[in-house]
Amino acid sequence: MMPFASLADVEALDRADPIASFRDRFALPAGVIYLDGNSLGPLPLATLAAQADAVANQWGSGLIRSWNDAGWIDAPLRIGAKLAPLIGAGADEVVVTDSTSVNLFKAVVAAAGLDPRPGALLTEAGNFPTDLYIARGAVAALPHMRLDIAAPGEILSAIGADTRVVLLTHVHYKTGHRHDMAAITRAAHAVGAVIIWDISHSAGAVAIDLNGCDVDLAVGCGYKYLNGGPGAPSFLFAARRLQPRLRSPLAGWFGHVDPFAFTDDFVAAPGIARFQCGTPPMLSLLALETGIDVFVQADTAALFAKSAALFDVFADLVAARCPALELVTACDPAARGSHISFAHPSGYAIVQALIARGVIGDFRAPDVLRFGLTPLYLGFADVWRAVDQLADVLDHEHWRDPRFSLRSRVT
C-alpha cells in the first residue's frame, strides 16, 4: 500500500511542521511549485524592501558617504560573520566576496603555497565543472604542482604521500551524494595535505561543522540555498590557525591592511579580510545579507530534519507512482544533501513538461532530473502535488510533445 495515498495524508505533516510559516517570507509565484532552490533560491520578501532602501537611500541619497555611513565597507566581513554559525565556523573565519569560481582559485593557490615541495592537487572526476576547470588552471600556474583526479568513491585510496591539497565538493550537484567530511579531512591531514571543501550544495541544506571537522579552507555559493539572488557573491572560509600563513593570489587593494593608505607595497590584512580582492558588488552583497538574515532565524535542527523528511516523502511517492524513474540519490540521510535526483533517458523532456505545468525542477546532462527540497519554503503538500504531476506526465507520456525537447542554453 502507498505510504501517502492522498493529499490529506501529507497535509497533516505540514500542520505539524514547526517552520511552515517561513514560506510566507518568500515571493513565490502563484501556481508554481519551486523545486530548484538548490540552483537559484527564491526572492525573500525582505529583500524587496532592503534593495529599495539600498538603491534609493544608500546609493541615491548617501552616495559615496554610504561606504562609511551605511556600513558598506564592513559588509563582506559582517555578512561572513552572520553566515559562520550555519557552517560551523568562527565569526572571524568567513568573508563574502567574489564568485565561487574565483574563491576556488584563491583557495587552491593559497593552500598550495603552504608547502613548497612538489606534489599533487587531488580532486574527483565528475566534480562540479568549474571546480575541475579552476583546479586545472591553478595547477597550470603552479610549477610545483600536478593535478590528480580520482575516480568517484576512490578519494581515500587516492590520497598519497605527495598529495598536498585535496579539493572536493561536499554534496554532489548532480547525484546529491554527500562525502564524509570528517573522515576525508582526517585522511588528508594524515599525509600533511590541506583540504578545501566546496560546500555550495551544503550550506543551508545540511548541518555542517567546518571547525568540528578541522577543515582548512572552504568555499560556497550565495545564490543557492542561501537565497542571495542571481549571481550573489560567494563565501570563503579559512581556519583561524592558517590565516596568517595564507596568501591570496588575487591580492587586490581590498585585501590590503589599509586600502586607503594608497601605498605601492602590498601588506595583507590580518585575518580573513586578506581574501577580499576588489570593490564588492554592494547591491548583490546586501541582497545576500537579507537572504541569510531569513535563514538564521530558522531553527536549523528543524530545518535539516524537514529536509530529510521531504526527501523520504518524495522518494516514497515516486517509488509508488513513477516506476520509470531510477533513484540516483542515496537513501541514507547522512550520505546525501537536500535535493533528490532520478535518472531517465528522456529526463530533459520530462523536466520541460513539468515546468510547463509550473513544477520547476531542472535537468543535468546526460539523464538526471533534479529536484531541490528546500525546507524553508517547501511543504509536504508541494511534494505531493509535484509527484502527482510527474506521475501524470509519465503515465500519459506528455513529455513526448516535441516542444519539450527543444534545448535552451540553461537547462
The least CB distance from residue 131 to ligand PLP, in Å, is 5
How many other β-carbons are positioned within 10 Å of the β-carbon of residue 133? 14
Question: Which residue's CB is nearer to ligand PLP, number 66 or number 248?
Answer: 248
Closest CA to 329 of 368, 383, 275: 368
- Which of 20, 46, 91, 99 binds ligand PLP (CB under 6 A)? It is 99
C-alpha cell at 94: 568567513
The least CB distance from residue 242 to ligand PLP, in Å, is 21
Question: Which residue's CB is nearer to ligand PLP, number 287 or number 318?
Answer: 287
Catalytic residue (one of 223, 225, 314, 363):
223
The least CB distance from residue 357 to ligand PLP, in Å, is 26
- Which of 47, 58, 169, 290 binds ligand PLP (CB under 6 A)? It is 169
Closest CA to 160 of 141, 146, 178: 146
Render 83-123 in DSSP notation, one character per residue.
Answer: HGGGGT--TTSEEE-S-HHHHHHHHHHHHHTT--S-EEEEE
Mark out the alpha helices in 191-346 (DSSP H runs). Answer: 282-297, 300-321
Closest CA to 122 of 162, 181, 179, 153: 162
The least CB distance from residue 324 to ligand PLP, in Å, is 27
The gap between the terminal CA atoms of the chain, to the nearest Å, is 35
Please say if 370 is a catalytic residue: yes
Which range binds ligand PLP by CB under 6 A, 124-132, 157-165, 187-195, 331-339? Answer: 124-132
What lies within 8 Å, CB to CB, of 32 at 6+ separation is 358, 359, 360
Please say if 174 is a catalytic residue: no
173 binds ligand PLP (CB under 6 A): yes
Which range binds ligand PLP by CB under 6 A, 6-14, 61-69, 84-92, 123-131? Answer: 123-131
- Which of 58, 66, 100, 227 binds ligand PLP (CB under 6 A)? It is 100
Query: CA distances (Å), 191 to each of 116, 359, 376, in order?
Result: 15, 47, 40
Please say if 198 is a catalytic residue: yes
Closest CA to 333 of 316, 317, 310: 310
Which range binds ligand PLP by CB under 6 A, 61-69, 99-107, 141-149, 339-347? Answer: 99-107
The least CB distance from residue 222 to ligand PLP, in Å, is 8
The least CB distance from residue 130 to ligand PLP, in Å, is 5
201 binds ligand PLP (CB under 6 A): yes
130 binds ligand PLP (CB under 6 A): yes
C-alpha cell at 41: 533560491
131 binds ligand PLP (CB under 6 A): yes
Do you find a cis peptide bond into 281, omega within 30 degrees of 0? no
136 binds ligand PLP (CB under 6 A): no
200 binds ligand PLP (CB under 6 A): yes
Please say if 34 is a catalytic residue: no
What lies within 8 Å, CB to CB, of 94 at 6+ separation is 80, 81, 83, 84, 87, 235, 236, 237, 272
The least CB distance from residue 112 to ligand PLP, in Å, is 19
82 binds ligand PLP (CB under 6 A): no
What is the separation of C-alpha 384 from the centre of its chain, rounded to a whole number of angstroms? Answer: 25
Please say if 348 is a catalytic residue: no
Which residues form the interface with ligand PLP (CB under 6 A)?
99-101, 128, 130-131, 169, 173, 198, 200-201, 221, 234
**Looking at the annotation, which residues are catalytic?**
128, 198, 223-224, 370
